[in-house]
A and B are shown apart, each in its own frame.
Chain A
Amino acid sequence: LNSKKAINRPVILVVEDEPLLRLNAVGMVESAGFEAVEAADAAQAVAILEKRTDIRVIFTDIDLRKGVDGIRLAAIVRDRWPPIEIILTSGYISPKQADLPERSLFFSKPYKEKEVLEAMRKLAA
């Protein structure tokens, strides 16, 4: 019964280089009933996306210390996997809307978990 339920849960890819924040974000996503897949940088995220076809939403930090940043990653996702929804977060002052890909949402850190989860539910529906 459990494994069957797992198959139906929407999958969210969490990309965050800060381990504690990643841990927390994964916990938040799972407690809301999603399945979480995690990556610490853009390269890992792309590798996961190339393997899995069930990811509905990517929730990525913008300031990834290694490799390309979250904005670049979001652009890659929009380009290669257009159906995947994108949510961005950053400790920097909100980026310009023009820098963000279409159909993407931004939450400033520290974000309100309730608002982020609400957005995920809407996008994954």
Chain B
Amino acid sequence: VQPPRYTFDKERLATLEAYNVLDTPAEPGFDDIVRLAALICATPVSLVSFVAENRQWFKAQVGFEPCETDLNSSVCAHALIESDLLIIEDLSIDPRTRDNPLVTGNPHIRFYAGAPLRAANGAVLGSLCVIDGKPRPGGLTAAQAEGLRNLARQVMSQLELRRALAQRDALLTENRSAELRRNGLLSVGDQLRAINSVPEATRAAAKIAGQTLGLVRAGFGRVDGAGEFIDIEEDWAADGYASLAGRQSLADHGDLGRRLASAEAIVVEDVATDPATASSREWLLRMGVRAMANLPTRDRGGVVALFFAHSDRPRVWVAEDLAFLQNVGDRVAVSVARTEAVALQRFLNLELSHRMKNTLAMVQAIARQTLGSIPDQAPVEAFDSRLQALSLAHDALFKQNWSTARLGDVVRSVIGNIQSIDRFTFSGPHVAIGPRATLSISLLLHELSTNALKYGALSYTDGHVYIDWKVTDENLTFTWREKGGPAAVEPTRRGFGSRLISLGLVGTGGVALRYLPTGFEGNFDASLSQLREA
């Protein structure tokens, strides 16, 4: 006797599958029901039986040993198509069951009453049944039948409850994972902002990604221009797993290597079975890689960069995991590019400064060699000294990446180059000045200092120069006052030095000079916008 055709109904089987109950351990809720059913119906045996495609499986049983039987031995299969209870008073007579091995052989069952387990969508999943070894003419009493029906509905309630709890747990787990990923991203962002070395940045981000997703290895790498190698920066590997940092040959990895080089995303749930990893399966398994995700990130100027994640067990990479890894990878790529750009800029600045100063040294040498034979060497010395001032201006600019210099730095270095710095007192607020003003102020300060040394306060042992500057209404006023030297006398001849001084802070004047009996004084004005000009 074949089980009814409905047994194999696709929708019925799918509904049963969705409850995810087959082959799960016993649970008290179901155990209680079979005990009650046996009690109510006064039978030695009661079962919660789910009828699958090729077997019936018992979630709960009393008085019956096996946890499942084949469909051949199933009476419950016949209950699937009943609208109400299936009651067979003597199984050895009924044509559906008289050849059933459980009837003809051990344990020689004779009486069966089963209530269908009907899901909300109408699919019948199995039955709650009671069984006796003796035939029972007249079957169940009306009260017993009603009890069996009610308990069958209880089985379905238990089943629904089970599923709801499982869904809730899955949701909680997912929420927890989402929170972990969110925190992971935040901490990647924090770390990358705080770190400005490439190896530290890649390692920190890889560690967070790896620990967030429970991986065994993660890292960032770049494929070389020819696609032959991948250079993996400092990565993160769990205890007992080797780092992959360094240059890895892509040619050793056949098709997988080619796909990596071409910036393809490669997501593998199980290295052991995925044909995509066939060419490198042994190597990957040896490295503890059972599942992996390689996500390409920004492809800048032909450079393929990627973020990789390795798991030591098969893993279904959910969209959220991949989005997380992509996000981490993109952030690392941006951070690495920024760090390298800063390093390159620093290198270029150093090189620029070096060339500039070497060129000035060449100009100095040419002047020396050209003018060396002139008897009066004073103008040559003056030229040399002004060249020095120009060179110092470049030093001050270099400190701020050639964009601005601090006025205080410029003052200190130029006057310090002429005379011991303790002959000066200077004070003023922090003012950033542009490259043009830095050069002109350096030359101005050079002239003022050399004059002070030759004719002014610094020509006397106790002479002193007071320098201060202040900013009012977007205007800088810079004051130079000499004390303790000879009385100042206005020069009768206007040489280059005097003309340089009259050009002022930014070459446009704004100069007031006073030749006082107490010493020379000068006021120099310029607007901050002029001072900041590039």
A: residues with CB less than 8 A from B are 18, 20-21, 23-24, 27-28, 63, 90-93, 108-113
Contact = CB atoms under 8 A, between A and B. Distances in A.
A88 to B, nearest CB: 14
B337 interface: no
Contact of B384 (A23, A63, A112): A112
A91 B354 contact: yes
Interface stretch (B247-255, B355-363, B469-477): B355-363
Contacts of A23: 365, 369
Given A24-B365, A93-B398, A110-B391, A18 B358 contact: yes
Interface range, B side = 20 to 34
B191 to A, nearest CB: 29
B353 interface: yes
B387 interface: yes
B353 A92 contact: yes
Contact of B357 (A28, A110, A113): A110
Nearest to A89: B361
Given A21-B365, A93-B353, A110-B361, 9 more contacts: A20-B369, A23-B369, A24-B364, A24-B368, A92-B354, A92-B357, A108-B357, A112-B388, A112-B417
A108 B388 CA distance: 10
Given A110-B357, A110-B387, A113-B384, A20 B395 contact: no
Query: What are the nearest 3 A-B pairs in CB distance?
Result: A24-B365, A91-B357, A91-B358
A27 B350 contact: no
B366 interface: yes
Contacts of B356: 91
Name B's interface SS. helix
Contacts of A63: 354
Contacts of B357: 91-92, 108-110
A113 B350 CA distance: 24
A63 B355 CA distance: 11
Contact of B358 (A27, A28, A109, A112): A109
A117 B380 CA distance: 16
A92 B350 contact: yes
B362 A20 contact: yes
Contacts of A21: 361-362, 365
A92 B349 CA distance: 10
B372 interface: yes
B377 to A, nearest CB: 10
A28 B369 CA distance: 10
A18 B369 CA distance: 15
A90 B388 CA distance: 14
B439 to A, nearest CB: 15
B317 to A, nearest CB: 49
A109 B369 contact: no
Contacts of A110: 357, 360-361, 363-364, 384, 387-388, 391
Contacts of A27: 368-369, 372
A93 B395 contact: yes
Nearest to B391: A110
A113 B365 CA distance: 10
A23 B395 CA distance: 26
B348 to A, nearest CB: 13
